[in-house]
Amino acid sequence: QVHSSVMLGSVDKKTFKKLQINCESLENCVTLNNAVWNESTELFFDSDKGRGSSAKEIGDGISSVTVDELREKYGTFTYINIDVEGAEKELLQGAETTLKHHKPKLCMAVYHRSEDIFDLINRVKEINPNYKIYLRHHPHISFWDTNIYCI
């Protein structure tokens, strides 16, 4: 059985183009330039800042999707890597059915907000108490990444 990958890009057009180029040679890989959120809507970003792009009330609009919608369209995910610059809580809201019924492995950043390390772990356990959760702190130049691994 051939598994496919869905790679979600950045709201920054230049960064998304890099993703497309790096995924060109991958078989069964779909690249999408959407925000991942708790509902399908249009979100606005200051999108010319690369990694520093952030949500705004006005700006460049981009369509958002939920993880549950992506699963319905592309099939069940076995692994989801989540680092959405502080929108992890909203992503989880839009992934409840997937996490509850399909239990994909997760790697999720928990360092964007001080409460994330507690709130996100508790939220994952509320959605699916069968997850085993591991915390890892990775030294990374020039940032320090702290992630949870849910299996």
Q: Residue 9: is its pLDDT beyond 60?
A: yes
Q: What is the mean pLDDT of residues 109-130?
A: 96
pLDDT at 1: 43
Question: Average pLDDT, stretch 18-39?
Answer: 93
| Percent of the chain whose predicted confidence (pLDDT) is above 70 | 89
Distance (Å, rounded) from C-alpha 58 to C-alpha 98?
Answer: 31
| Predicted local distance difference test score (pLDDT) of residue 129 | 98
54: confidence class by pLDDT, cuts 50, 70, 90: low
Q: Specify the pTM.
A: 0.89
Q: Which residues 6+ apart lie within 8 Å of 55 measured at CB? A: 43, 44, 45, 87
Helices (H), 6-146: 13-23, 67-74, 88-93, 96-102, 116-127
Per-residue pLDDT, 16: 87
The DSSP letter of residue 102 is: H
